[in-house]
Structure 1
């Protein structure tokens, strides 16, 4: 299941990031690591998502959201 599959308001934990190495490293520097709790705040028709991670809101495009695999909390 990816970040795009979570319902709005739903909580999950990151299980794996399947993106290019440079993108994955950047997300890790921002605090998105395995087992990090994430709450999905909003989804856009374009595929973008807005999430809350460790008290900070992030917006990710469709490609990144589909590359972040999660497990339900």
Structure 2
């Protein structure tokens, strides 16, 4: 499943990032790497996804969220 399909309040493990070069590098610099546990805080299907990663809240658009593959913890 992708991060866009994640449910609010649930924790997931990042399995894969299938983004273009610079976006992936930036997210990895912010701590979003393969194997990292994240928790979905808000998921507006028509807009952004807000999640907690390594103690920091991040908000990303639905196009980027659809490119992040996750698995339930």
The CA RMSD measured in Å over matched residues stands at 0.9
CA distance in 1 between partners of 2:68 and 2:47 (Å): 13
The offset of 1:4, in angstroms, is 1.2
Q: Which runs of 5+ in 2 are unaligned?
A: none
Structure-1-length-normalised TM-score: 0.94
Aligned length: 73
1:14 aligns with 2:14: yes
1:35 aligns with 2:35: yes
Q: Which runs of 5+ in 1 are unaligned?
A: none
Structure-2-length-normalised TM-score: 0.94
Task: List 4+ stretches of structure 1 deviating above 6 A.
Answer: none
1:50 aligns with 2:47: no
